[in-house]
């Protein structure tokens, strides 16, 4: 079993949010994604709502509606009701993503957010976090842990080269915290998209593995590698994973058993 737990689909004609950090000028269709899964021998996939499409998840959910092998992680407003979240889950959304890059520290303990996380817990939906380690990632994770939701950290925590706040992250050792071995090129240093980025990701992975269970890692292709399309493709992303996780036994567990359990396939 091989499962890709992080990829995106979109069309350039779709309405994008104002002040988006990135706006694609090409299409990344569901058919294109499925072709990648088939080509590289993947059985299932999880598609993540891209930040530039905001909280309009219709294109994503409509695309996967009739495909039993693909699920979604959506983006929603914190004021969403329990019934609205339940409907999203019925449409194969297994979690929500918090796009927090460049944002100030949010008071996740206020009544609105508390209700939001409590509803996610009741529905057994995970919280996926996109945030740089050298920003507020540790505090974000620490606060959300109190709601007992599964927390999935994108791209091996997007660390800077000096690994600022990394030791504090390691101290959070908890079975509810998961890491995606993905997007090595999104680490915060100039040469991240080169072989140096893969070497750095391996260091991060090995260090995390010393404090968290191997069961708490999954793989993500990050296709179509927004902002890095000229440097990375699905094949190179998977080759990088095999270098970061050199143990075949660990690769099999991360690609199969771990992802099956976390995403309830």
pLDDT (tens digit, 9 = 90+) per residue, 61-105?
999 999 999 999 999 999 999 999 999 999 999 999 999 998 999
Burial call 197-229: b when 16+ CB within 10 Å, e when fewer: bbebbbebbebbbeebeeebbbbbbbbbbbebe
Q: Is the dihedral of CA 17, 45, 124, 204 positive or negative?
A: negative
d(CA 44, CA 195): 28
For residue 162, whether the previous peptide bond is cis, meaning omega lies within 30 degrees of 0, is: no
- pLDDT digit string (tens) for 183-205? 999 999 999 999 999 999 999 99
Question: Average pLDDT, stretch 213-230?
Answer: 97
Place 22 in a pLDDT band, splitting at 50, 70 and 90.
confident
Question: Average pLDDT, stretch 134-159?
Answer: 97
Q: Domain spanning 3-262 has what CATH number?
A: 3.20.20.140
Place 163 in a pLDDT band, splitting at 50, 70 and 90.
very high
Question: Average pLDDT, stretch 224-242?
Answer: 97
pLDDT, residue 20, reads 83
**Domain range annotation of the chain:** 3-262
Question: Average pLDDT, stretch 216-227?
Answer: 97
Question: What is the overall mean pLDDT for the chain?
Answer: 96
Residue 243 has pLDDT above 90, yes or no: yes
pTM, two decimals, is 0.96
Residue 161 has pLDDT above 90, yes or no: yes
Residue 237 has pLDDT above 90, yes or no: yes
Place 18 in a pLDDT band, splitting at 50, 70 and 90.
confident
Please tell me the total number of residues recorded for the chain in this structure: 265
Instruction: State both tokens at 51.
Output: 């930040």
pLDDT, residue 21, reads 84
Residue 219 has pLDDT above 90, yes or no: yes
d(CA 150, CA 174): 10
């Amino acid at each position: 079993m091989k499962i890709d737990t992080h990829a995106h689909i979109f069309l350039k004609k779709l309405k994008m949010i104002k002040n988006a950090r990135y706006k694609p000028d090409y299409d990344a269709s569901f058919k294109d994604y499925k072709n990648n899964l088939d080509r590289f021998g993947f059985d299932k996939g999880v598609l993540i709502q891209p930040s530039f499409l905001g909280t309009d998840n219709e294109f994503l959910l409509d695309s996967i509606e009739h495909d039993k092998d693909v699920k979604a992680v959506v983006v929603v407003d914190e004021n969403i009701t329990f019934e609205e979240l339940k409907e999203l889950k019925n449409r194969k959304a297994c979690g929500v993503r918090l796009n927090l890059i460049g944002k100030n520290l949010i008071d996740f303990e206020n009544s609105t957010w508390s209700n939001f996380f409590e509803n996610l817990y009741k529905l057994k939906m995970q919280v996926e976090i996109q945030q740089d380690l050298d920003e507020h990632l540790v505090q974000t994770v620490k606060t959300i842990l109190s709601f007992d939701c599964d927390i999935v950290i994108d791209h091996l925590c997007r660390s800077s080269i000096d690994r600022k706040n990394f030791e504090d992250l390691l101290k959070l050792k908890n079975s509810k915290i998961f890491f995606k071995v993905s997007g090595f090129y999104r680490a915060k240093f100039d040469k991240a998209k080169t072989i140096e980025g893969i070497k750095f990701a391996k260091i991060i992975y090995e260090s995390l593995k010393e404090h968290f269970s191997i069961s708490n890692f999954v793989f993500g292709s990050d296709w179509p590698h927004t902002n890095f399309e000229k440097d990375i493709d699905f094949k190179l992303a998977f080759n990088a994973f095999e270098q970061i996780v050199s143990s075949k036994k660990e690769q099999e567990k991360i690609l199969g058993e771990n992802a099956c359990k976390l995403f309830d396939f």
